[in-house]
Amino acid sequence: MSDFKNLTIGILALQGDYECHKNQLDLLGAKSSYVRLPKHLANIDALIIPGGESTTISKLIDRFGLREPLVDFGESKPIWGTCAGMILLSNEIEANQANVKPLQLLDIDIARTAFGRQVFSFETELILNLNGKEVKSEASFIRAPRIKRISKGVNILATYENEAVLVEKDNIMASSFHTELENDTTLLKFFLENYLVDILNK
């Protein structure tokens, strides 16, 4: 198992289930740091944008002056967005009446809550294609977004009923679902080992 003790992973902690991500980072022995202001981005190796309410998170990003710093961070360092985090990383949001402003760091288009409202939330086992191997992982879909368009350069790492639900390009990864609600650290471990390999090999 990789030693993650030299990593410091930021978690955008404006709203949402950020504490669950901290708990998983603790399980793997990685340090975590809550990001609420631009200065908090300075000493982290990667960032997780958690699930939550994308409208609220988008407004708070602007209120705390984080929009440009987050875009700058994502142009060179790894970011993983889960659920609402995927929405915020996307290029465009379909039927965006709430006026959520995406960061446009990943060339996909999204429909919010397209897997159904809270009452239709569900858990399932997904097959993830990680480093050329098929790996099983538990996934929770809670008011989850659907990907409506994917650019040619974006890689699909998992599907659910023939729809892409886990995608990545370069240093950015996004999932429609949550894995942080339980103790299954499969996807987090993949994120750390593949996107922060240079730090781990020092």
Residues involved in catalysis: 83, 178, 180
Q: Say which residue the tokens 């960032």 belong to.
A: 47
d(CA 105, CA 96): 18
d(CA 91, CA 81): 13
Q: Indicate the residue type of 62.
A: D
